[in-house]
């Protein structure tokens, strides 16, 4: 959603900002927790818990600042190993190589993006 807001095509990585080497922020924490479906146009359209309540109960700090790597080039996708052309394991062509997509929470929402 954030990448869409910034006019990139999609995100290729997301997690804590410090885990990517982006550092931690300072000052106010505007959103303590977001729950996006992925189709929203703006993060303001996601379910948001306000920091005044969320930070108090869950002890959020800048340690949890959000980080993302957005991407604008087209990534090619293919399905491999199925018995029909419309089924199989998802592979993406990225950084000059084909590779698998791994996720412990892969579901119909992500599948619809690929299809």
Q: Is 25 helix (H, G, I), strand (E, B) or coil?
A: coil
Q: In the prediction, which pLDDT does 80 show?
A: 92
Q: What is the pTM of this model?
A: 0.53
- Which residues, including other chains, have CB under 8 Å from residue 50's CB and lie 6 or more apart? 31, 32
How does pLDDT run across 2-15, given as a tens digit for each residue? 888 888 888 888 88
Which residue has 């990139």 as its token pair? 8
Tell me the torsion sign for CA atoms 59, 63, 65, 70: negative
Say how many C-beta atoms besides its own lie within 10 A of residue 1's C-beta: 19
- On the CB side of 112, CA atoms within 13 Å amount to 6
């Amino acid at each position: 959603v954030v990448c869409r807001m910034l006019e990139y095509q999609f995100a290729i990585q997301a997690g804590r900002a410090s885990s990517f080497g982006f550092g931690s922020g300072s000052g106010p924490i505007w959103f303590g927790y977001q729950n996006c479906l992925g189709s929203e146009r703006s993060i303001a359209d996601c379910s948001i818990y306000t920091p005044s309540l969320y930070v108090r109960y869950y002890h959020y700090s800048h340690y949890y600042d959000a980080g993302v790597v957005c991407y604008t080039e087209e990534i090619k996708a293919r399905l491999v190993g199925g018995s029909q052309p419309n089924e199989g394991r998802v592979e993406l062509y990225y950084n000059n190589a084909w590779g698998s997509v791994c996720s412990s929470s892969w579901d119909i929402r992500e599948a619809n993006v690929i299809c």
